[in-house]
Structure 1
């Protein structure tokens, strides 16, 4: 079957701006996107890349990410976007597990690839060499390969709930189903424009924001790195019809000194996802006449549920109901359906759901029950069928849209000789939804322990995984079963954060 939909889009569309890059001052039509992808497909073929091989890209938001996706779809090659925010050792594990054959990169982030074999680091996407190779003026036509719907199309890595990087598999069918579901749900069309500020290595930024608009024939404005002030300027210049952002990004726009609600005059809807809603941000937008709508998904099931604008006014914390062609269940510990109002683990089923984890058959088997994917999120359903996330079953912390496993942070903290015992929990943050905190029992007194541990952690982990708050204790509090009382620790952390006023409240 032919999944080369960018070629079809280019055949049917008028010549118009498909992708605009304000930073580079470039603009590409749908015809340009198809030609760039054909040029890149020829280049990959010349380098010996063949069907089924994995090719990666390590870059901020850039048209090159689309170049590679569309080139791989033409070839039957596997597309791998890599999170450039990760530390070198984390990236090495992904490269090793995926068996990637070639990595395109942005020069700014090449230092993070220092532990990767040099022969895999292929080309700087910001270089003149890359620009010349893909430029439409140098067109080399390419014959699209036929692929099967269940062939592997993409890998996206997530830490999930085990602490080890896991490659989430997307077949052509699951990948395209998600894009179509999203476009239908949000009623995206060719007259619309949006700005992509969330990272395109995430499903929220790529599968749920970028691709539905491109498939629908709209115009995408690239925001290379999120910055609230810059996004406000882009809003003023490009008048987007909708935004899909992480809650903390809406916060960043609001607190920037150039925020102007008049820049939202063409906005039809505002979606937030990737982490828990920020009530103060929701109330602020509501007071200005705009409702933030909660969407729900995860790497394994990019868009599963979404609220509506009308319902969000009444139920601002609800994630709504399943989108088209997605089913859901709430299950107890024995995988029986719970009753309305009772809490159960959220499980989802649909063509857009991953078929499993790369090279991890046991993890895949453990993640499905009767064809439903177990999300690890605890939720409840009200009488009207609306879903509310209650808690995370596996204690995963989501800070600013990034997943952090407490055990990973605890393991690194415990490596330092100053730390005798530590428990990592999330605490409420008006900016990030949740932030990372660590309760520590020290092996010896040291007045500078916070700065010492902070330096240690920043050497070992990505910045978003480093604790923003430390609490020194003589003993870790225990619950009635003699286990660390994490609920009590969270209360203590929230109290300390409020006392220290670490983060600005929205006014």
Structure 2
């Protein structure tokens, strides 16, 4: 089967920009993207890369990410974008678990790769060597391998709900299915342009935005790193036809000095996902008659449900109904389907859902029930069929679209000599949806304990996992089962946040 879709797209698409990189001042057509990928595939084949090998990239949003994706498809290799926000230890775990053969990188991020075997660090994507290899002014024609739909196409890593990095597998058919689902839900066209500010190591930016847009022959403007002011300027310059963003991005854009509602007038739709909606953001955009709708998905199931524009005005907290070719169930603890208004774990089924986790058959088996992937999210459905996410079943904190496992942060803080006991919980944040906080019982009084714990956490954790607030308590409150009373601690944390003016509303 021919899954080399960038080659087909290049054959059928007119010559026009497919990728625009304002920071580098470069543009690439579909024809040039295909040539770049064939040149790279030819080179990597000569270097011994073969079908099934894993190719990684550790870089911000850049055309090189697409070079390696498309070259991987041509070779029958597996594409692995690595999260550069992780700390060196976490990155090393991902690299070791994946068995990646070569890692392309940007030199700026080498400091995060200090715990990775240097022999795996293959080539700087900004080097003259790399640019010479992919340069589309010459063309090393490459004969793409024959692929099957269930062949592994990509791995995206997530900590999931166990804290153990897991490689979420995607087949070529799951890419195709997800693109079809999204195009039936909110169609895009070859004449459309969008801006990719979401990181391409994340399922929202990669599976849900970039791949479908290129499937359909659109134009992507890359923002290398998210910056609210810069994105506001890009919105004004390019007038995108649609946008996908996480709520914290929207928040930052709205409060930036250069925010201009006129930048949104050309957008047919604006979808937010990746973390719980921020009511202040929804209200602000509604006041400006800018349509904002909720989408829901996760790494293992890129798109599950989307609210409609009209329904989002009536039910702004709903994630809508399941998308086409998808099913959902809400299960109780015995896997019985619950009724309307009852809370249970959300299960999803569809051809875009992962077949499982890389080299983890036992965890894969436990993650499914009757072909439904168990999301770990608690949800309910109303009489109209609208779905609402209520909470995380296993107390995962989602801050700015990133998952944080409380036990992971607790384990790090507990190693500090000042900490006798700690509990990590999320508190409500208008900017991030949730932020990480820690209630600690100290071994001794120390006026500088917050600064010391913060410095210690920064050495051990990714930046988004670091507590933004601490609560010093004399003893740990317990619930009726003699476990730490996290609900009581969360109430106290939210009260402290208000006193510290961390719940400021949009002006």
Q: The TM-score by the shorter chain falls in which range? A: over 0.9
Per the alignment, residue 461 of structure 1 pairs with: 461
**Deviation of 1:2 (Å):** 1.5
Write the distance in 2 (CA, Å) between the matches of 1:3 and 1:430: 43
Deviations 1:90-117 (A, max 9, x none): 0000110000000000111011111111
Per the alignment, residue 52 of structure 2 pairs with: 52
**Deviation of 1:180 (Å):** 2.2
Trace 1:125-136 onto structure 2 (pairs within 5 A).
125-136=125-136
**Deviation of 1:184 (Å):** 2.3
**Deviation of 1:372 (Å):** 0.3
Trace 1:487-506 onto structure 2 (pairs within 5 A).
487-502=487-502, 504-506=504-506
Deviations 1:35-64 (A, max 9, x none): 111011111111111000101000100111
Per the alignment, residue 313 of structure 1 pairs with: 313
Write the distance in 2 (CA, Å) between the matches of 1:95 and 1:264: 40
Trace 1:7-406 onto structure 2 (pairs within 5 A).
7-406=7-406
Out of 109-118 and 20-29, give the one that drifted further: 109-118
Kept in 2: contact 1:292–1:309 (CA 8 A): yes
**Deviation of 1:147 (Å):** 1.3
Write the distance in 1 (CA, Å) between the matches of 2:496 and 2:179: 43
**Deviation of 1:263 (Å):** 1.1
Aligned length: 507
Write the distance in 1 (CA, Å) between the matches of 2:404 and 2:336: 29
Deviations 1:137-185 (A, max 9, x none): 1211100100111111111100000011001111111122112211221
Write the distance in 2 (CA, Å) between the matches of 1:390 and 1:503: 21
Deviations 1:195-234 (A, max 9, x none): 0001000010111011111110011000000011000100
Kept in 2: contact 1:183–1:213 (CA 8 A): no
**Deviation of 1:422 (Å):** 0.2
Where in structure 1 do 4 or more consecutive aligned residues deviate above 3 Å?
none
Deviations 1:409-446 (A, max 9, x none): 00000010100000000000000000000000001111
Deviations 1:263-290 (A, max 9, x none): 1120110000000000000000000001
Kept in 1: contact 2:429–2:502 (CA 8 A): no
Write the distance in 1 (CA, Å) between the matches of 2:60 and 2:411: 29
Write the distance in 1 (CA, Å) between the matches of 2:320 and 2:158: 25
Write the distance in 2 (CA, Å) between the matches of 1:215 and 1:44: 24
**Deviation of 1:480 (Å):** 1.2
Write the distance in 2 (CA, Å) between the matches of 1:352 and 1:252: 31
Kept in 2: contact 1:132–1:138 (CA 8 A): no
Write the distance in 1 (CA, Å) between the matches of 2:180 and 2:95: 30
Per the alignment, residue 423 of structure 1 pairs with: 423
Q: Specify every segment of 5 or more residues in structure 1 that has no aligned partner in the other structure, as ranges.
A: none
Write the distance in 1 (CA, Å) between the matches of 2:164 and 2:185: 33
The alignment's C-alpha RMSD in Å is 0.8
Q: TM-score, normalised by structure 1?
A: 0.99
The 1:504/1:135 distance shift into structure 2, 3 A limit, reads: farther
Per the alignment, residue 452 of structure 1 pairs with: 452
Write the distance in 2 (CA, Å) between the matches of 1:418 and 1:216: 56
- Structure 1 counterpart SS, 2:204: coil
**Deviation of 1:31 (Å):** 0.4
